[in-house]
């Protein structure tokens, strides 16, 4: 039987800003990929899989983390009662598990194919190779931050930190290859990505060393497009007024914080004071049920709004967290306030280590809002028993902090069956 693979054809790969628009011609022979002309399609196909996985994981993890509140929508953008209550169940996690695993697989196996087609010498200095290694790193990081368990290509269950270990290796190789290719943007993106996974691996020395090389103004983003719905920014489209008002900032920690500080990093619009969401919502924090006021986020204001994968300001917060772990409260607060002063929002103060941890936890919530990062942070801090507290609207009792292995994976993977 002729082996076939579904190939996503894409436009040319750009070095400064990635172009990932795609047209799907349907199944083609896998052997067709074993030539240099197919390599841009392989690289950009891996990027589109990562964008798709980020789209889905961001939306539902934001609901579980109380970054958004359901506004009554059903269907594609409906937030289930389980998710509203912070429960992430195996029978509802298929989309998130499958899409993130596919993003990892297509990037990692695509990198292996590039090495085979190009040969080791050309691969070692290829911008295309550097790019797909960066996609591999961010796909693995997303799995590590959002999935409870590590499973690699139908293997046995293992600690989810396996994803961070793989991401660190991906980013390290990407730095070497991108440097040889002369692509400074990809070098910086890979080093910033490595800093973020080293923090999760508790390699503080390595994380701080990497973070220190990244400028405040740097940001590496996942692009989205307007040519078809599958490539829209999903967090925007679910709440674009027409046709959906699927969620709101009402009943989230963002509602009160933004009103008090005008912090532009968590912007939302509440000017349409009589506008309500798509349908009735039960279990509202004040005990009410029915339609909820519709306050729409404006961080992502268009269908093709890009989403940060990593940024310089995240690097500063890695440095601040390292200082807190070393009991340098003043140093951590100074880093946090550098950003806040630049934005003209109220500075934070901390009389104790617990106060400083509270400020750090909130600052990461603000800086990384709606980027599919919050559950990973909450889980990491809980595992390490870090002090500090959360806003009462975010501090949900008995909340799940990661997506479990999907029911489909358990049923199909012989290594997971009892």
β-bridge partners, 70: 247
Of 5-19, 62-76, 266-280, 392-406, the poorest mean pLDDT is in 5-19
β-bridge partners, 5: 28
Residues 353 and 366: beta-carbon distance below 8 Å: no
With b for 16 or more beta-carbon neighbours within 10 A and e for fewer, the 34-61 pattern comes to eeeebbbbbbbbbbbbbbbbbbbbbbbb
d(CA 46, CA 170) in angstroms, rounded, equals: 14
Which sequence spans correspond to the domains of the chain? Answer: 4-57+81-225, 234-297
- Write the DSSP assignment of 8-29 as a string of letters: -EE-PPPSSS----EE---EEE
Determine if the peptide bond prior to 243 is cis (ω within 30°). yes
Task: Answer yes or no: CATH 1.25.40.390 is held by domain 4-57+81-225.
Answer: yes
Predicted confidence at residue 252, as pLDDT, reads: 96
What is the residue whose two structure tokens read 């617990």?
354
Q: Is the pTM of this model over 0.85?
A: yes
d(CA 297, CA 337) in angstroms, rounded, equals: 24
pLDDT digits (tens, 9 = 90+) for 307-340: 999 999 999 999 999 999 999 999 999 999 999 9
With b for 16 or more beta-carbon neighbours within 10 A and e for fewer, the 218-236 pattern comes to bbbbbbbbeeeeebbbbbb
* pLDDT band for position 12 (cuts 50, 70, 90): very low
Of 20-29, 126-135, 195-204, the poorest mean pLDDT is in 20-29
pLDDT digits (tens, 9 = 90+) for 152-198: 999 999 999 999 999 999 999 999 999 999 999 999 999 999 999 99
- The CA-atom distances, in angstroms, between 129 and each of 35, 45, 122, 126, 262 are 14, 13, 9, 5, 42
């Amino acid at each position: 039987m002729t082996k076939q693979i579904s190939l996503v054809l894409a436009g040319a790969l750009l070095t400064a800003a990635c172009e990932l628009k795609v047209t799907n011609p349907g199944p083609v022979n896998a052997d067709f990929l074993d030539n240099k002309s197919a390599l841009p399609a392989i690289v950009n196909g891996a990027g589109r899989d990562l964008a798709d996985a980020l789209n889905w994981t961001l939306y539902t993890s934001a609901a579980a983390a109380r970054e958004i509140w359901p506004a009554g929508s059903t269907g594609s953008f409906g937030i289930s009662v389980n998710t509203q209550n912070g429960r992430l169940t195996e029978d509802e996690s298929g989309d998130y598990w499958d899409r993130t695993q596919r993003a990892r697989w297509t990037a990692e196996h695509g990198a292996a194919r590039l090495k085979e087609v190009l040969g080791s010498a050309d691969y070692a200095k290829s911008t295309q190779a550097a790019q797909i290694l960066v996609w591999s790193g961010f796909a693995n990081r997303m799995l590590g931050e959002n999935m409870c368990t590590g499973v690699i290509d139908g293997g046995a269950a293992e600690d989810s930190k396996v994803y961070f270990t793989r991401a660190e290796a991906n980013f390290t190789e990407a730095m070497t290859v991108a440097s040889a290719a002369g692509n400074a943007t990809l070098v910086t993106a890979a080093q910033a990505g490595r800093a973020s996974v080293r923090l999760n691996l508790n390699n503080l020395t390595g994380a701080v060393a990497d973070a220190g090389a990244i400028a405040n103004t740097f940001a590496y983003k996942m692009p989205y497009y307007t040519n078809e719905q599958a490539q829209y920014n999903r967090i925007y489209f679910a709440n674009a007024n027409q046709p959906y008002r699927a969620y709101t900032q009402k009943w989230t920690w963002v509602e009160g914080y933004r009103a008090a500080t005008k912090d532009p990093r968590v912007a939302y619009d509440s000017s349409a004071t009589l506008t309500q969401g798509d349908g009735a919502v039960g279990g509202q924090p004040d005990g009410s049920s029915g339609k909820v006021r519709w306050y729409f986020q404006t961080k992502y204001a268009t269908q093709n709004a890009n989403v940060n994968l990593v940024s310089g300001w995240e690097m500063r917060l890695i440095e601040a967290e390292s200082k807190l772990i070393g009991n340098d409260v003043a140093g951590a607060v100074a880093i946090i306030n550098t950003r806040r002063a630049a934005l003209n929002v109220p500075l934070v103060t901390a009389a104790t280590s617990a106060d400083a941890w509270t400020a750090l936890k909130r600052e990461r919530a603000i800086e990384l809002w709606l980027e599919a990062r919050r559950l990973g942070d909450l889980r990491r801090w809980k595992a390490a028993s870090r002090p500090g507290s959360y806003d009462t609207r975010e501090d949900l009792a008995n909340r799940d902090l990661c997506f479990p292995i999907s029911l489909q994976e358990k049923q199909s993977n012989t290594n997971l069956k009892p």
